[in-house]
Amino acid sequence: MNKEHKAKEFFDKTSLYLESDYGIIIRKETINSSLNTDQFETALDIGCGDGSISISLLDNIRALTLLDISSNMLDIAKDSLTPEQKTKVTFINDSIDSNCIEDTQFELTISLGLLSHVNDPEKTFHRIASLVSKNGILVIQNTDSGHWYYKLISAYLRLSRFLRKDKYQYSFNKTTEFQLLTWFKKANLEVLSSFHYNQSFIGIGSLLSNGLKYSIIRNIFGSIDSPRNQRLGSDGIYFLKRKE
Ligand SMILES: C[S@@+](CC[C@H](N)C(=O)[O-])C[C@H]1O[C@@H](n2cnc3c(N)ncnc32)[C@H](O)[C@@H]1O
């Protein structure tokens, strides 16, 4: 089974991911702080999960496409919409790597938490970048595999996999921030802003409530409007603009 199939199998058990909602709330607030005064004709959320992040911007978007390999995740997204909101949303249940979207570009493209789970992150990144229109905005997340905190998380995950305690039964892709910045350049994408933090609590996560984890992250790293300790954060959310 390749990584794409393993990811589908994992995310189809939706609660395994959605129970850690503090991470989703931080991503949602980061996006809203940066984009809530902008208006977009078209938007695409790749690996949208329950869709709550891009749906929270729906008042500013005329047509939103939600794409996810997990049909169960998309069902949750569908169920969360009012009948009026549904008229603005298209759902695609497929892999981003299957070329399911052709000859279309979007004013806003969002992809959070995806690159760790695909077969070839560089190939998928360039596929995502090709969907961003000229002057369009891309919001993308990556965990920097060159960062000391990531190395700690990796060692912990290897140990829990060995002890069969890890909920993910496959290893995540490794992409350094340096590699990512090189890919941005190659794709003619300019970094407008970014926010760095650590989402993983390495082993003690299950002892802390989601609310407490949220407060710890905010206390250490602040927010995108008022960031702190950015060099300590291995998770990065980047806001990019496609240059002409
Ligand atoms: C970590 S979750 C992130 C969900 C959401 N973007 C968020 O930030 O909360 C990753 C999502 O990507 C989806 N996914 C994984 N591989 C995919 C692929 N090749 N194509 C499309 N979606 C994929 C999963 O089903 C899952 O919903």
Domain definitions of the chain by residue range:
3-242
Measured in degrees and rounded to the nearest 5, phi and psi for residue 129 equal -60, -30
Please give the model's pTM, rounded to 2 decimal places: 0.95
For the chain, what percent of residues have pLDDT higher than 90? 83
Crossing angle between the packed helical segments 21-35 and 210-221, to the nearest 10 degrees: 40
Q: Exposure pattern of 179-199 as b/e (b: 16+ CB <10 Å)?
A: bbeebbeebebeeeebbbbbb
Residue 157 has pLDDT above 90, yes or no: no
Crossing angle between the packed helical segments 71-79 and 3-12, to the nearest 10 degrees: 40
Alpha helix positions (H), 36-143:
52-55, 71-79, 83-86, 121-129
Q: What is the pLDDT of residue 159?
A: 81
CA of 95 to the centre of ligand 1 (A): 9
Q: What is the pLDDT of residue 160?
A: 78
CA of 113 to the centre of ligand 1 (A): 6
CB-based contacts of 215-220 (< 8 A; 24+ apart in sequence)? 217/22, 217/26, 218/26
* Measured distance CA(231)–CA(153) in Å, rounded: 16
Closest CA to 235 of 57, 23, 20, 49: 23
Q: In whole angstroms, how far apart are CA 244 and each of 17, 106, 133, 180, 221?
A: 37, 14, 9, 20, 33
Q: What is the mean pLDDT of residues 43-64?
A: 98
Does CATH number 3.30.1450.10 belong to domain 3-242?
Answer: no
Q: What is the mean pLDDT of residues 24-43?
A: 96
70 lines ligand 1 (CB under 6 A): yes
The larger pLDDT score, comparing residue 169 to residue 74, is at 74
**Ligand 1 mutation pick, 46, 70, 80, 109, max ligand atoms within 8 A of CB:** 70
Under 8 Å between Cβ of 46 and 66: no
What confidence category does residue 79 fall into, taking pLDDT thresholds of 50, 70 and 90? very high
Ligand 1 atom closest to the Cα of residue 68 is: 22
* Measured distance CA(195)–CA(222) in Å, rounded: 9
Q: Whose CA is nearest to atom 1 of ligand 1?
A: 113
What confidence category does residue 202 fall into, taking pLDDT thresholds of 50, 70 and 90? confident
Q: What is the pLDDT of residue 218?
A: 98
Q: What is the mean pLDDT of residues 24-40?
A: 96
Mean pLDDT computed over every residue of the chain: 94
Under 8 Å between Cβ of 99 and 73: no
